[in-house]
C-alpha cells in the first residue's frame, strides 16, 4: 500500500506506529479527523496476514469512527488502533502498559476504548498509564458493559425506521428476524419482546438460540434460512457484508435495522435495497449507543444522561431519512452527508474564528 497516498485520499491527519520489543507490542494508531474534538475509537487486537492489512484496517476503522461520532452528535473526532497479535495468547501486562504510554504521549488527541480482541481488563491496564481511555471497570467510574446500551440504541433506531416504513413506530405485532443472538442482540430481543413483537432468531451457537426461544418465545430457524423468512423487519446483528448479491433476492422485510457493522458488502447493495423500497437504517447511525455511552465517561459518567443521549438515535435515524428524501439519496449516502455536513459546519466556524484573530486552545 502507498501510505501517504491513502492518507491524502481520505484526508487522514496522523498515523502513529508503536512497537515495544520487550512486550511484543506492534500497534498502529490512526487518527482520521479531529475537527469536532479529540479522536475517539477502540483498540482492536487481531492476527493480520500482513502489516499492510493492519494499516489498511486501522485507516478504514478510524474513518468510520469519524462518521459514527459525527452522526451521533458527539464532539469527538475519529480514530482507531489495531494491535497485531493473537488476543488469545499474545497479551501481557507490559504490552498494554507500553501502549498506554504511547497514548499518553499524544496528549489527548486520541482516546481509546475496548474493541474486538480487547477487554475491560485490558483497558484497566492502559488506564495505569493514561487517562485517555474509556470502557474501564466501573470501579474507576466507568459505564461497564456497553452491550445493553448499544441494544437500546438499536431498538429506538428500529422504531424510527419502522415509522418511516409503516407510518407508526409501534412494533407490537411486527415480526422481527434477528440474525445473531449475542450480548447486544439478546438485549435487543428483550426490548422487542416486551413491546409485543414476534421474534424469529438464528445463531451459529445453539445455546444462544435456545436462550432466546426460552426467554422470549422466539421461533428458531437455520442460519441459512433467516434471510427469506416472512417478516416485517430484518435485524442483522452478527456478520458484516451480510447485505449482498446472494441475500438481497431472498429478503421479504420492508425494514433493515440491526446492530452489525458494515452491513452492506458494497455500496451498490445500498442502492439495490433502496430501489426495492426497503427502509434501511445505516449501521453506524443505529448502533452508536456504545460509543455515545463511553463518550459520556469523559464528563464523569452519568447513566441517566448517557441513556438520554442514546434515545437521540431515534431522531438521528429520522434525520437520515429526511436527508435521503431531500437530496434523493439512498440512506447509506444520506448518513454520510449528515456527518459530513456537521463536520463542515464546524470547519467553517473555526476558520471564521481564526480569521477574526482568535486562537483555539484544545482541551479535554
CB 117, CB 87: distance < 8 Å: yes
If one counts every other C-beta atom within 10 angstroms of the C-beta of residue 319, the result is: 18
Q: Which three cell numbers stand for residue 158?
A: 428500529
- The vertex-133 CA angle with 288 and 9, nearest 5°, equals 60
Q: How far is CA 34 from CA 30, 40, 59, 76, in A?
A: 11, 9, 14, 7
Which residues on neighbouring strands pair with residue 202, listed in sequence order? Answer: 179
| Pairwise CA distance, residues 224 & 250, whole Å | 11
Determine whether 159 is an active site residue: no
Q: Are strands 110-111 and 77-84 parallel, antiparallel or unpaired?
A: unpaired
Question: CB neighbours (10 Å) of residue 129?
Answer: 18
Q: Is the dihedral of CA 283, 170, 316, 76 positive or negative?
A: negative
Per DSSP, what are the bridge partners of residue 82? 28, 44
- List the catalytic residue out of 5, 21, 68, 80: 80
The DSSP bridge partners found for residue 43 are: 81, 114
227 is written with which cell numbers?
434471510
Beta strands in the chain (DSSP E): 14-20, 25-33, 39-40, 43-46, 77-84, 110-111, 175-179, 198-202, 219-220, 233-236, 255-256, 279-280
Q: Buried b / exposed e across 138-154, counting CB within 10 Å, b at 16+?
A: eeeebbbebbbbbbbbb
- Residue located via cell numbers 440474525: 179
Supply the residues annotated as catalytic. 80
Amino acid at each position: 500500500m502507498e501510505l501517504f497516498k491513502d492518507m491524502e485520499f481520505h484526508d487522514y491527519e496522523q498515523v502513529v506506529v508503536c512497537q515495544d520489543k520487550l512486550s511484543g507490542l506492534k500497534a498502529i494508531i490512526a487518527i482520521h479527523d479531529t475537527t469536532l474534538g479529540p479522536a475517539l475509537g477502540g483498540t482492536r487486537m487481531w492476527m493480520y496476514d500482513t502489516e499492510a492489512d493492519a494499516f489498511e484496517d486501522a485507516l478504514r476503522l478510524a474513518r468510520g469512527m469519524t462518521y459514527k461520532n459525527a452522526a451521533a452528535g458527539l464532539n469527538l473526532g475519529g480514530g482507531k488502533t489495531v494491535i497485531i497479535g493473537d488476543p488469545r495468547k499474545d497479551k501481557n501486562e507490559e504490552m498494554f502498559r507500553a501502549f498506554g504510554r504511547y497514548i499518553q504521549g499524544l496528549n489527548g488527541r486520541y482516546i481509546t476504548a475496548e474493541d474486538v480482541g480487547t477487554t475491560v481488563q485490558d483497558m484497566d491496564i492502559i488506564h495505569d498509564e493514561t487517562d485517555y481511555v474509556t470502557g474501564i471497570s466501573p470501579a474507576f467510574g466507568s459505564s461497564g458493559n456497553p452491550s445493553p446500551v448499544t441494544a437500546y440504541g438499536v431498538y429506538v433506531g428500529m422504531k424510527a425506521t419502522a415509522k418511516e416504513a409503516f407510518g407508526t413506530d409501534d412494533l407490537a405485532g411486527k415480526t422481527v428476524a434477528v440474525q445473531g443472538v449475542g450480548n447486544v442482540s439478546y438485549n435487543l430481543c428483550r426490548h422487542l419482546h416486551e413491546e409485543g413483537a414476534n421474534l424469529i432468531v438464528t445463531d451459529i451457537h445453539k445455546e444462544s438460540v435456545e436462550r432466546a426461544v426460552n426467554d422470549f418465545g422466539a421461533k428458531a430457524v437455520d442460519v441459512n434460512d433467516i434471510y427469506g423468512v416472512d417478516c416485517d423487519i430484518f435485524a442483522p446483528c452478527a456478520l458484516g457484508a451480510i447485505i449482498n448479491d446472494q441475500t438481497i433476492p431472498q429478503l421479504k422485510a420492508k425494514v433493515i435495522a440491526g446492530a452489525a457493522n458494515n452491513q452492506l458488502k458494497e455500496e451498490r447493495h445500498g442502492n439495490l435495497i433502496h430501489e426495492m423500497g426497503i427502509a434501511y437504517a445505516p449501521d453506524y447511525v443505529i448502533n452508536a449507543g456504545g460509543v455515545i455511552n463511553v463518550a459520556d465517561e469523559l464528563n464523569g459518567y452519568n447513566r441517566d444522561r448517557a441513556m438520554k443521549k442514546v434515545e437521540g438515535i431515534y431522531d438521528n435515524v429520522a434525520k437520515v431519512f429526511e436527508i435521503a428524501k431531500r437530496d434523493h439519496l439512498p440512506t447509506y449516502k444520506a448518513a454520510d452527508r449528515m456527518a459530513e455536513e456537521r463536520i463542515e459546519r464546524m470547519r467553517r466556524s473555526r476558520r471564521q474564528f481564526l480569521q477574526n484573530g482568535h486562537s483555539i486552545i484544545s482541551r479535554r
